[in-house]
């Protein structure tokens, strides 16, 4: 049987939390400022995964308007107990500077499809919360502690407190149970319980350390009592690539583990695949899987013999490669937006889009890059090379109205080919970019504007081949022709997201946008959207 090639969730799918219910596996991953919140994938065989829900769909559950880039939903924890699913998540309102404003919540549902409850507020002392269901019926909440004083550590340790579901609140004392290793920045805690070889139960604590950059690691510790003291794994880190800079899977950390019904053990973890020319993870932070084993010392180890993540892993199933490489054409005829798409921050979707007459209508709102309300509907880049195309019908009156095709990472990193108008009302195509513009935030114009007729739809397209991005356009009855120079697509990455190595957390998207800086919500109609993966010999990591 062929081995599976990592990752199992390509593209922006970080901070995996996995649980098994019977023969069904579910992974929840972070969505940050993209709405709806939290991605949940389902699998029967650990090889083939389908996105089945994003449970945070209502304003009562999540409103991220004003959340800066790479804030919003961090590190969800998904579990199943007492006949229902439990989902813990953070909504981060501020991350830069000395303070973190991170609010932790719980929602529940009888099935993975929902209905998901309104949230129960838990605490705000730190992020990466997790809920553990002990076999005596008690429930325990853990999260990392943030200390703005840095006394002695900014990441001050893992806090443990009991959760009372009858009272719907945390109760009892708070205890700092683990401060991590010399790698520091301990976060991402998950608690487990498992009988040792002598029958005496161990509590295990899996955490992330080293930040989410190239020193990232999965740390493992254990104790005979839930509140510690916890001893660290003999190798400290059960998964890390920090000392192997040429390993194809880098940034490995933030893990969770699951046992199959036949007793095999797997760790899922965050990873990134940097390009060879520049150390940039253009697909963001992805989810990979490793087979592990419990040894006679009651510790968990990767089965292949080192703690370095393997590119190829033996799992029960075999991936459907045809599905991975299939073209996706979205025609908007169903009246429901395909689940591949997300938008930014706002739960009030009716203000930014509607599906009408087989078209996606975007209502121009704030500027592209706004942290509050912008009409940008996009899907993840999940391949190193691809083609994207759409057709837009838009009648701008001046330069403050625009709509078109964007390759987008954040307010400081995007490329945007828009139908707009000059101040005299004459329509034109304008190519804009904001790549690596932090901190000045200034817009760049890589090409001269192209005047176009004031009526009829315009086809817009782009191709990405590894680091090379080229835009195209076509008027009615014409073939696509290039506009502007070849651009550097590799800047649409965490490493160029406008922050230091540990500060940008999402991934590259491609999609449709409309903006109206006059405040009149000028609509733009998109008749289709196509995403076509391309096998490019220059790509190092394609499956």
* Residue 264 neighbours by CB under 8 Å, 6+ apart: 291, 316
CB-based contact 405:399 (threshold 8 Å): no
Q: Which helix (H) or strand (E) covers residue 322, if one does?
A: helix 321-325
CB-based contact 69:411 (threshold 8 Å): yes
Active-site residue, 354 included: no
d(CA 460, CA 402): 13
Choice among 291, 373, 399, 501 that is catalytic: 373
CA nearest 535: which of 379, 321, 329? 321
Q: Token pair for residue 496?
A: 């160029």
Q: Token pair for residue 436?
A: 């690596």
d(CA 409, CA 370): 13
* Residue 96 neighbours by CB under 8 Å, 6+ apart: 68, 499, 503
**DSSP one-letter string for 504-526:** -----EEEEEEEETTSS--EEEE
* Residue 151 neighbours by CB under 8 Å, 6+ apart: none
Distances (CA, A) of 421 to 141, 361, 397, 404, 432: 54, 19, 6, 13, 14
CA nearest 15: which of 25, 27, 4, 33? 27
CA nearest 103: which of 138, 64, 154, 139? 64
CA nearest 416: which of 509, 346, 287? 509
Farthest CA pair distance, the chain: 82
At 464 the three-state DSSP class reads strand
Q: Which helix (H) or strand (E) covers residue 393, if one does?
A: strand 385-394
d(CA 139, CA 221): 20
Q: Which helix (H) or strand (E) covers residue 324, if one does?
A: helix 321-325
CA nearest 62: which of 87, 28, 26, 36? 36
Q: Token pair for residue 103?
A: 């609010």
CB-based contact 425:441 (threshold 8 Å): no
Handedness of CA 304, 309, 311, 314 (dihedral sign): positive
Any idea which residues carry the catalytic annotation? Answer: 373
């Amino acid at each position: 049987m062929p081995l599976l090639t990592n990752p199992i969730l390509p593209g922006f799918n970080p901070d995996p939390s996995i649980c098994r219910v019977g023969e069904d596996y579910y992974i929840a991953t972070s969505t940050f400022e993209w709405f709806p919140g939290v991605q949940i994938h389902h699998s029967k065989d650990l090889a083939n995964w389908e996105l089945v829900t994003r449970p945070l769909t209502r304003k009562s559950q999540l409103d991220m308007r004003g959340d800066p880039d790479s804030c919003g939903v961090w590190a969800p924890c998904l579990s199943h107990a007492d006949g229902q699913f439990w989902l813990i998540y953070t909504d981060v309102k501020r991350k830069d500077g000395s303070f973190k404003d991170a609010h932790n919540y719980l929602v529940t549902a009888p099935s993975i499809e929902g209905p998901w409850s309104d949230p129960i507020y838990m605490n705000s002392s730190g992020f990466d919360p997790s809920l553990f269901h002990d076999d005596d019926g008690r429930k325990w909440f853990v999260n990392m502690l943030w200390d703005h004083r840095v006394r002695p550590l900014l990441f001050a340790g893992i806090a443990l407190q009991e959760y009372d579901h009858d009272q719907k609140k945390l109760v009892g004392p708070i205890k700092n149970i683990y401060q991590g290793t010399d790698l520091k920045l301990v976060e991402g805690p998950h608690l487990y319980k498992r009988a040792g070889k002598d029958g005496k139960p161990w509590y295990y604590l899996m955490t992330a350390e080293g930040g989410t950059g190239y020193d990232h690691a999965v740390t493992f510790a254990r104790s005979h009592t839930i509140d510690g003291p916890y001893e660290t794994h003999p190798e400290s880190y059960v998964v890390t690539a920090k000392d192997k800079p040429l390993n194809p899977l880098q940034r490995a950390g933030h893990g969770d583990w699951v046992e199959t019904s036949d007793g095999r053990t797997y760790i899922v973890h965050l990873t990134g695949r940097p390009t060879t020319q520049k150390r940039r993870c253009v697909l963001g932070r992805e989810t990979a899987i490793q087979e592990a084993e419990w040894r006679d010392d009651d510790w968990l180890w990767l089965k292949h013999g080192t703690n370095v993540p393997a590119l190829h892993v033996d799992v029960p199933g075999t991936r459907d490669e045809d599905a991975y490489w299939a073209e996706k054409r979205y025609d908007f005829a169903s009246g429901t937006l395909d689940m591949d798409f997300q938008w930014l921050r706002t739960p009030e979707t009716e203000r930014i889009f509607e599906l009408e007459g087989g078209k996606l209508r975007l209502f121009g709102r704030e500027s592209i890059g706004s942290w509050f309300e912008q009409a940008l509907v996009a899907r993840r880049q999940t391949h190193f090379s691809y083609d994207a195309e759409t057709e837009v019908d838009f009648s701008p009156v001046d330069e403050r109205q625009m709509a078109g095709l964007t390759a987008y990472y954040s307010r400081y990193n995007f490329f945007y080919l828009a139908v707009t108008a000059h101040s005299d009302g004459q329509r034109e195509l304008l190519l804009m970019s904001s790549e690596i513009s932090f901190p000045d935030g200034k817009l760049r114009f890589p090409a001269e504007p192209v005047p176009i007729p004031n009526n009829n739809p315009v086809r817009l397209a782009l191709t990405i081949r590894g680091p090379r991005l080229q835009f195209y356009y076509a008027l009615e009855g014409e073939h696509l022709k290039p506009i502007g120079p070849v651009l550097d697509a590799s800047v649409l990455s965490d490493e160029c997201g406008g922050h230091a190595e540990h500060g940008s957390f999402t991934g590259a998207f491609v999609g449709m946008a409309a903006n109206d800086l006059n405040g009149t919500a000028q609509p733009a109609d998109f008749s289709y959207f196509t995403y076509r993966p391309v096998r490019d010999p220059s790509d190092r990591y394609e499956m």
